Structure 1
Amino acid sequence: MSGLPACLATSGIDPRGAAAMTDRDGDRAWPEASSVVGTWELVSMAWTYPDGRTIEPWGTPAGRLAYDAAGNVVALLMHEARNEAGGRTSTPDVQPQYSAYFGTYRVDPGHGVITHRVVGSLNGANASGELRRSFAFEGDDLILGFTTERDGVPVVRRLVWRRSPSAPAAWKDP
């Protein structure tokens, strides 16, 4: 067993019991897609360079990622210093360090890929079109990964999301 089915088996989620979904384009989504449904809180975001160096450029970021059963996705991420909750004011240098987009999603568990089809975004080319992310479950966490180029070298980005404790009981893992 490999890919998402293996991840689901180790997380205690039975992939055979998940309900099948259809995305907005009428394409058949994978039954295991329901395992991502819910609201997720951003735990960490790290970039790893080819030399093994890892950085967390947004410190301890704030963020929410929400998937619904109809195939919709909303993502909000911000630098720790960009968060103005509690009356804090952010400095101009971190104002652009905020990402927000919405659209639809499709899960391909056989390849361990989730694709976000962006419909609206504040981030131009950085969050537009189709965003393909590797995904896996590690305990209570959803791990999304992708590779970009920075300063001419490939950089692996890893985002760790934890299911929100305020999510409805029906969305929580058994």
Structure 2
Amino acid sequence: MAQAANFVGTWKLLDYAFLYDDGRVERPWGEEVAGYLLYSAEGYMSGNLSAARQSRSVERGRDGTSSRRRDYIAYAGPYTVGEETIIHHVEVSLFPNWLGTAQVRYHTLEGDKLVLRTPPVLSDEGRMAVQLIWQRVRASEVL
């Protein structure tokens, strides 16, 4: 049975992909991604992830927000672990529409690899889920 203690620590992002029902795999940020996911023993999480190589140019929308928002994800809050899911209860986020939501992620944890997958959603390209693959960071790997 999955327990919160199994997730506690720092995780480095290895892969970010859209998995379509028809078998297509799309990597919207390319092959190189960057990011960290932290789960604390106190029951809080924080995630920050993006394309590894971001453009320095920023396009501004009419509302003054950056178009980069879709190329960077950041949010934090408490988390709860279930047998098949881990739920991120969003208290702070780069995306205002995520505030107060429960971001459900299906998890597979094998050794130092953590795979998180969103529930399927309907997009312009078809039904898909977002899959993130993380590698546990060990103290000996820190600079």
More strand by share: 2
Distance 1:126 1:154, change over 3 A: farther
Task: Please name the residue that 1:35 is paired with.
Answer: 6
CA distance in 1, matches of 2:44, 2:56: 30
Structure 1, unaligned stretches of length 5 or more? 6-14, 16-31, 83-88, 169-174
Task: Please name the residue that 2:74 is paired with.
Answer: 100
C-alpha contact 2:13 2:133 (8 A) present in aligned 1: yes
Distance 1:167 1:133, change over 3 A: farther
Task: Please name the residue that 1:53 is paired with.
Answer: 24
C-alpha contact 1:102 1:121 (8 A) present in aligned 2: yes
Instruction: Give the drift of 1:159.
Output: 0.2
Task: Please name the residue that 2:64 is paired with.
Answer: none
Instruction: Give the drift of 1:79.
Output: 1.6
Deviation string 1:37-87 (CA, Å, 9 cap, x unpaired) is 0000000011111221101111221100000011000000112222xxxxx
Distance 1:42 1:155, change over 3 A: same
CA distance in 2, matches of 1:102, 1:126: 10
CA distance in 1, matches of 2:26, 2:125: 17
CA distance in 2, matches of 1:127, 1:161: 24
Structure 2, unaligned stretches of length 5 or more? 60-66
Instruction: Give the drift of 1:124.
Output: 2.4
CA distance in 2, matches of 1:81, 1:90: 9
TM-score, with structure 1 as normaliser: 0.68
Give the fraction of aligned pairs with identical amino acids, expressed as a percent: 32
CA distance in 2, matches of 1:143, 1:122: 23
C-alpha contact 1:121 1:128 (8 A) present in aligned 2: no
Matched, 1:131 2:97: no
Instruction: Give the drift of 1:121.
Output: 0.4
CA distance in 2, matches of 1:64, 1:107: 19
* 1:40-119 to 2 correspondences below 5 Å: 40-59=11-30, 60-82=32-54, 90-92=56-58, 95-96=68-69, 97-109=71-83, 112-119=84-91
Runs of 4+ in 1 over 6 A off after TM superposition: none
What is the root-mean-square deviation in Å for CA atoms of aligned residues? 2.2
> For 2:124, which of 135, 151, 170 is the aligned residue?
151
More helix by share: 1
SS, match of residue 44 in structure 1? strand
Task: Please name the residue that 1:21 is paired with.
Answer: none
Instruction: Give the drift of 1:35.
Output: 0.3
1:62 counterpart letter in structure 2: A
Matched, 1:161 2:127: no
